[in-house]
Amino acid sequence: MDISLGGITGANVYTRWLGRALSWGEKYSTFMILVTLIVIFSLLSPHFMTTTNVRNIVIRVSIMLVVAVGMTLVLISGGIDLSVGSVAVMSSMIVGTILKDHGISAAPIAILAALGAGALVGLTNGLFIGLFGVPPFIMTMAMMMIARSLAEFIQRGVVPDVPVEFSRFFMTNIAGTVPPLVVIAAVVALAGHLVLSYTVFGANARGVGANASAAKFCAIPVLRYRLALYITSGMLAGLAGIMVVGRTNSANPGALKNFELEVIVGPIIGGVSFLGGRGTMVGTIIGVLIIGIIGNALNLLGIEPYWQMVTQGAIILAAVFLDYARHRKQ
Amino acid sequence: MSNTPAARDRQPILSVSGISKNFGGIQALSDVNLTLYDKEVLALLGDNGAGKSTLVKIISGAYARDRGEVFVEGERVKNGSVQDSKRAGIKMIYQDLALFGVLDVTSNLFMGEQIARWGIINKRAMRERAREILGVLRTTVKSLNQEVRTLSGGQQHSVAIGRGVYVGTRAKIIIMDEPTAGLGIEESAKVLELLKEIRHQVAVILISHNLDHVFEVADRAVVLRSGAVAGEVQIAGATASEIPSRKNEIVSLMLGAV
């Protein structure tokens, strides 16, 4: 435990104003980065601010955001979930295969099966981490490999011929503006925000992440929280898989490469800490938008794939450094 | 049983009888009896390994006892259940304070015991109560939104003690494990001040190695040696001239040189 001595007393007006300006700057820094990126990319490419491209970004970000909401809860509780990308792919293969074989009338069953599979992976993660003390990084990395293999086991290759009604449901604009896919993400993010900031569950989950043994002394059932959070993360990854099928009208066992990294880096950029306890859902939304916009712009500007990888690596480094700097500050 | 004149006719708030505990063949406690009266500060003393920590962990429910019973106001407390001990009004303040360093003051005070309805927390009520609690403990912080790790040692103790005494189920017995260990003079004085403040509300079991601190705040001292009660020394009411001899008595009991 850090113990620092005494607070600053007798700070004069100027230092107080400076302090306020700095804390304001920190509070809104990621938002300023987001705005700056939008301005820069708009200037660099005439295609960036077009309706089609903005729609593309929003849809892509929606799928990421759904998973990032679960990731934020897991990170804040002191864990990490590397299995989400593979779970999303597995879920999309389940949905795609069921729909292809049984038609659109099987959609409810397909959706339930995909969510159930996600929940099952989450339960497994939570049990091994919470009950047997396997480090979250190791456990969920193992699940990442297992779930990816299961996705390929379900169907070797791409499932192209998913009934078109399925994607029509997800992608047809409501009131001529936003498709249901985006509405789903907005609802999930709002729910995540409310749970994290206004409920006993959210407050206690934060406690588990900030100091798990102290949480036990406060009579918080830590294992139950871990289970609930990893199950939530798994189910939201499952939901993202369903949304992927809804967007592309197909399922591909090789899809969503590096997806888990994007949905971890997004929240971290938004102020969620690898060390647990800290972060907000609003920060996560901004962070995921930044990641989504950069990814889109790099494609739009015709940057070669290996330079895109370098950029993504640099962003991960920057995010980790930012987390470290924030934590060290005091 | 206590021979304190003031305590003789009172009903004990906590009574511990015949507690024994074995750790893999090593007898950590054997047949320990202890009585604590309301609004009394009882110092629990003993050399390292005498069984102080084991005993308070059994009382707080963190450890299960092999034999014996714990009663709060005559009601039996379940064996080895932190929840049940808490419900009975026994609260422990850990040596490392068990705080949440990266969370703010209010979150720390109410962790696990938020003011809430249907699972929705009432932040405003919690902040108001937090201000009251810090006021009672005469502690000022720059802001309730401050991360607890940025507070001074004394302020951190206030948060931990405030949480134990004033939040959640009403505390009847507060156990403090070495609250002044590792603190500077000023910070120790603050903690002792806090202790004097809360003793109007609750009974306190204080584990300490510092006899000066013990004589400043405690009414009685019980000395453990090799897992058994070696003796008891009256502290409250001792005159200045009696203090040195009573300190000697305590040290003799601790070392077994009687």
Q: What's the pLDDT tens digit per position in A246-276?
A: 888 888 888 888 899 899 999 988 889 888 9
Residue A75, pLDDT score: 97
Backbone angles phi, psi at B155, to 5 degrees: -65, -40
B30 Cβ neighbours under 8 A, 6+ residues apart:
B20, B227, B228
Answer whether residue A18 shows pLDDT above 70: no
B33 touches chain A (CB under 8 A): no
* Cβ-Cβ contacts under 8 Å for A219 (sequence gap 6 or more): B82, B83, B86, B112
Q: Is residue B7's pLDDT more than 70?
A: no
Minimal C-alpha gap between B156 and chain A (Å): 8
Residue B14: pLDDT band with limits 50, 70, 90: very high
Q: Number of Cβ pairs closer than 8 Å across A and B?
A: 98
| pLDDT, position B258 | 52
| Mean pLDDT (chain B, rounded) | 87
Report all structural domains of chain B as residue ranges with CATH numbers, in order of start: 1-89+169-258 (3.40.50.300), 98-168 (no CATH)
Q: Assess A5–B contact: CB distance below 8 Å, yes or no.
A: yes
User: Which chain B residue lies closest to A210 (C-alpha atoms)?
Assistant: B100
Residue B207: which of B180, B171, B172, B235 has the closest Cα? Answer: B180
Nearest chain B residue to A8 by CA distance is B142
The two three-digit tokens of residue A268, written as one number: 């971290």
Residue B37: its H or E element:
strand B26-37
B150: closest chain A residue by CA: A4
Q: Name the phi and psi angles at A301, rounded to 5.
A: -85, 0
How far the first Cα of chain B sits from its last, in Å, is 21
Q: Which two tokens stand for residue B129?
A: 């109560």
Most confident range, picked from A35-39, A233-237, B208-212: A233-237
Bridge partners (DSSP) listed for residue B176: B93, B206
- Is A175 or A162 the better-scoring residue by pLDDT? A162
Spatial separation of the C-alpha atoms in residues A228 and A205, rounded to whole Å: 10
- Considering the entire predicted model, what is its pTM? 0.84
> Is A2 at the interface with chain B, CB within 8 A?
yes
Single-letter code of the amino acid located at B122:
N
CA A161 to chain centre: 28
Percent of chain B with pLDDT over 70: 96
Query: Helix, strand, coil % (nearest 5) of chain B?
Result: 35, 30, 40
pLDDT score, position A327: 67
User: Quick check: A203 and B107 CB within 8 A?
Assistant: yes
Position B186 scores a pLDDT of: 82
Give B191-195's long-range contacts (Cβ < 8 A, gap of 24+). B191/B154, B191/B157, B192/B216, B192/B217, B193/B138, B194/B137, B194/B157, B194/B158, B194/B161, B195/B41, B195/B161
Per-residue buried b or exposed e for A109-120, using 16+ beta carbons within 10 Å of the residue's own CB: ebbebbbebbbe
Q: Is the pLDDT of residue A140 over 80?
A: yes
In the predicted model, is pLDDT for residue A229 greater than 60?
yes
Measured in whole angstroms, the distance separating CA A327 from the mean position of its chain's CA atoms is 21
pLDDT of residue A144 exceeding 80, the answer is yes
Query: Can you state the percent helix, strand and coil of chain A, rounding each to 5?
Result: 75, 0, 25
Above 80 in pLDDT, residue A235?
Answer: yes
Could you tell me which of A27, A68, A73 has the C-alpha nearest to residue A196?
A73
Question: Comparing A145 with B185, which gets the higher pLDDT?
Answer: A145
Crossing angle for the helix pair A107-130 and A136-154, nearest 10 degrees?
A: 150
Domains in chain A: boundaries = 40-329
Task: Please report the pLDDT score of residue A178 as a whole number.
Answer: 85
Fold exhibited by the domain A40-329: ABC transporter involved in vitamin B12 uptake, BtuC (1.10.3470)
User: Rounded to an integer, what distance in angstroms lies between the CA atom of residue A220 and that of residue B199?
Assistant: 27
Q: Of all residues in chain A, what percent carry a pLDDT higher than 70?
A: 90
Q: Per-residue pLDDT averaged across B123-138, rounded?
A: 90
Confidence bin at A1 (pLDDT 50/70/90): very low
- Note the pLDDT of residue A196: 96
How many C-beta atoms lie closer than 10 Å to residue B126's C-beta? 21
Residue range A18-42: mean pLDDT, rounded = 78
Residue A30 pLDDT exceeds 70:
yes
pLDDT above 60 (res A208): yes
Q: How far apart are CA B158 and CA B165, in angstroms?
A: 10
Residue with tokens 């990888």, as numbered in its chain: A309
Contact B112 A215 (CB under 8 A): yes
Each residue of A294-328: pLDDT tens digit?
989 988 888 888 888 888 888 878 877 877 776 66
